[in-house]
Amino acid sequence: MVYRLILLTQTSLDSLEGTRACPPENCGGAPGYTDLLLALADPRHPEHQEARQWVDGKFDPAALDLEKINRALARLR
Protein backbone atom coordinates (compact mmCIF):
# COMPACT_ATOMS: atom_id res chain seq x y z
CA MET A 1 0.00 0.00 0.00
CA VAL A 2 1.24 3.48 -0.84
CA TYR A 3 -0.21 6.75 0.32
CA ARG A 4 0.73 10.27 -0.68
CA LEU A 5 0.01 12.80 2.05
CA ILE A 6 0.05 16.55 1.69
CA LEU A 7 0.31 19.15 4.42
CA LEU A 8 -2.36 21.71 3.57
CA THR A 9 -1.76 23.94 6.56
CA GLN A 10 0.19 23.55 9.76
CA THR A 11 -2.84 21.81 11.30
CA SER A 12 -4.33 19.96 8.34
CA LEU A 13 -3.11 16.69 6.85
CA ASP A 14 -5.01 14.96 4.06
CA SER A 15 -4.37 11.99 1.83
CA LEU A 16 -4.95 12.76 -1.83
CA GLU A 17 -4.24 9.37 -3.36
CA GLY A 18 -3.02 5.90 -2.57
CA THR A 19 -3.06 2.29 -3.60
CA ARG A 20 -4.43 -0.77 -1.86
CA ALA A 21 -6.17 -1.23 1.46
CA CYS A 22 -4.48 -1.24 4.83
CA PRO A 23 -3.90 -4.68 6.31
CA PRO A 24 -6.64 -5.91 8.62
CA GLU A 25 -5.97 -5.63 12.35
CA ASN A 26 -3.95 -8.42 13.91
CA CYS A 27 -2.93 -10.03 10.63
CA GLY A 28 0.66 -10.55 11.76
CA GLY A 29 2.43 -7.50 10.38
CA ALA A 30 3.93 -7.39 6.89
CA PRO A 31 4.73 -11.13 6.72
CA GLY A 32 1.25 -12.08 7.94
CA TYR A 33 -0.37 -9.69 5.46
CA THR A 34 1.62 -11.23 2.63
CA ASP A 35 0.51 -14.71 3.72
CA LEU A 36 -3.10 -13.51 3.96
CA LEU A 37 -3.03 -12.03 0.44
CA LEU A 38 -1.56 -15.23 -0.98
CA ALA A 39 -4.19 -17.37 0.74
CA LEU A 40 -7.08 -15.13 -0.35
CA ALA A 41 -5.90 -15.00 -3.97
CA ASP A 42 -5.66 -18.75 -4.47
CA PRO A 43 -8.73 -20.93 -3.87
CA ARG A 44 -6.43 -23.98 -3.86
CA HIS A 45 -4.24 -22.53 -1.08
CA PRO A 46 -4.49 -24.74 2.03
CA GLU A 47 -5.50 -21.72 4.16
CA HIS A 48 -7.87 -20.10 1.63
CA GLN A 49 -11.12 -20.95 3.44
CA GLU A 50 -9.69 -20.00 6.83
CA ALA A 51 -8.44 -16.67 5.45
CA ARG A 52 -11.84 -15.88 3.90
CA GLN A 53 -13.57 -16.66 7.19
CA TRP A 54 -11.07 -14.55 9.11
CA VAL A 55 -11.80 -11.47 6.98
CA ASP A 56 -15.51 -12.39 6.92
CA GLY A 57 -15.32 -12.60 3.12
CA LYS A 58 -15.45 -8.79 2.92
CA PHE A 59 -11.79 -7.76 2.61
CA ASP A 60 -10.76 -6.29 -0.74
CA PRO A 61 -6.99 -5.69 -0.76
CA ALA A 62 -7.31 -3.43 -3.81
CA ALA A 63 -9.90 -1.14 -2.18
CA LEU A 64 -8.94 2.31 -0.97
CA ASP A 65 -11.29 4.58 0.97
CA LEU A 66 -9.73 8.06 0.99
CA GLU A 67 -12.65 9.52 2.94
CA LYS A 68 -12.12 6.97 5.73
CA ILE A 69 -8.36 7.66 5.74
CA ASN A 70 -8.92 11.40 5.91
CA ARG A 71 -11.43 11.02 8.76
CA ALA A 72 -8.79 9.04 10.68
CA LEU A 73 -6.18 11.71 9.92
CA ALA A 74 -8.59 14.43 11.09
CA ARG A 75 -8.79 12.73 14.51
CA LEU A 76 -5.03 13.18 14.84
CA ARG A 77 -5.26 16.97 14.68
Q: Hey, where are the domains in the chain?
A: 1-21+62-77, 24-60
3-state DSSP percent of the chain in helix, strand and coil, to 5: 40, 20, 40
**Quick check: 48 pLDDT over 70?**
yes
27 vs 13, 31, 32, 46, CA distance in Å? 27, 9, 5, 17
By mean pLDDT, which of 11-15, 49-53, 66-70 is the weakest? 11-15
Determine the pLDDT at residue 67: 85
Put simply, whether the predicted model's pTM sits higher than 0.95 gets the answer: no
CB atoms within 10 A of CB 47: 14
